[in-house]
Amino acid sequence: MLIFFNVFSQKAVYQLPVDLKTTVTNPTFFYTLPKTAFKVDVVVTKTSHIKGLYADFAEKLLGITNYCKENSATFQLKNLMITPFSVPDETLQFVVELSSVQMKNNFLSSLYEKNATQDFQTFSTFEQNNADLLPDFFKNYADVVMQQTYETYTETKIIDGVVTQVPVTQTKTTTKTLAQQAQEAVDFIEKIRKDRYDILSFSQETPLSQEAFEYLVNQLNTLEKQYLELFTGITVLEDSHESFVVYPQNSSGLQHVCSVTPTAGFSTSICKTATYNYLLKFALQTSTEMRANFNETLTSKSKKDSGYWLRKAEPVLITLVHGDIEETTLGIFYVYQFGILETLPANLDGFDIGKWVYIK
């Protein structure tokens, strides 16, 4: 949590862990340098191909060859967005030995009072939508599967002593086969097409207004489409949202983010097939080599009476890489861990350390 306060001249700053020879006698406070993390929001589209109720009769009864023969689903990345935020870097912790001036001015009391009033940074999360995406007609379609059949035969009866053949009709209730149901659906499709043709050719006796004409044609088109989907099947698109956090590690390399395979969908694990992996490519926008060489001895050890240890965030161009193809530029972001660890001069009066670090 960032603390903003005025710091008087500190006595000494040590990087943790300190060696056994170091003696700290005055009151102290601890701070941690920040590092940059990225909240990653991923949207993955699931495309479901659902077989129709009468798919097995599509080619035979309607001559349709391009139809869904089996239920299947495929996945594809739709969108990826990154949001930077800062967290403490637990590998870079320091202890500050207070000076007599800081102790005289109740430095610790002021520090902890301000620490208690700070708010933590929070992020909103996505909610998964589990609503049924199937069209009501396709999902709830039901045909009358029972039908009446009539059988006529003759019975021999003796009426008034005379042997007579009497015709008899018997009614039976039977169940329609799926083929019979499909044929009835085809018959209805043909009726829809005939009715639409009659409207388009102005065969009706009463002329229609433009609004009525368009309404009837649209209704017939919709009805035909719904019945045809019972043969061809339907395609349903569904977006799922995933959120997770990544921590940049290499300022001049690639870092795996997630993978999306056509069959299994989203995963944060590395896929064996490289073309299904998504990576972040980092490119520093400033040259830090000379500064790094200059500060090399300072980063290896801390010295008594040294000043505050700081690390300034460096601008980094981040590109999303799909497999081995640079797909899109996500933008330029400032990343703390790609900066150089430096020390300030000791005894800096009035330096606002709280703008740069997390106070513990």
Is the pLDDT reported for residue 331 higher than 60? yes
Q: What is the pLDDT of residues 158-204, one digit of tens each?
A: 776 676 776 766 665 567 888 999 999 999 999 999 999 988 888 77
Domain boundary assignment for the chain = 136-146+161-234
pTM over 0.85: no
Contacts of 180-189 with C-beta under 8 Å, sequence gap 24+, read 180/147, 181/54, 181/143, 181/145, 182/54, 182/57, 182/61, 182/231, 183/57, 183/61, 184/143, 185/54, 185/143, 185/227, 185/230, 185/231, 186/57, 186/61, 186/62, 188/227, 189/62, 189/224, 189/227, 189/228
Q: Could you report the per-residue pLDDT of 71-101, keeping only the tens digit for each?
A: 999 999 999 999 999 999 999 999 888 777 7
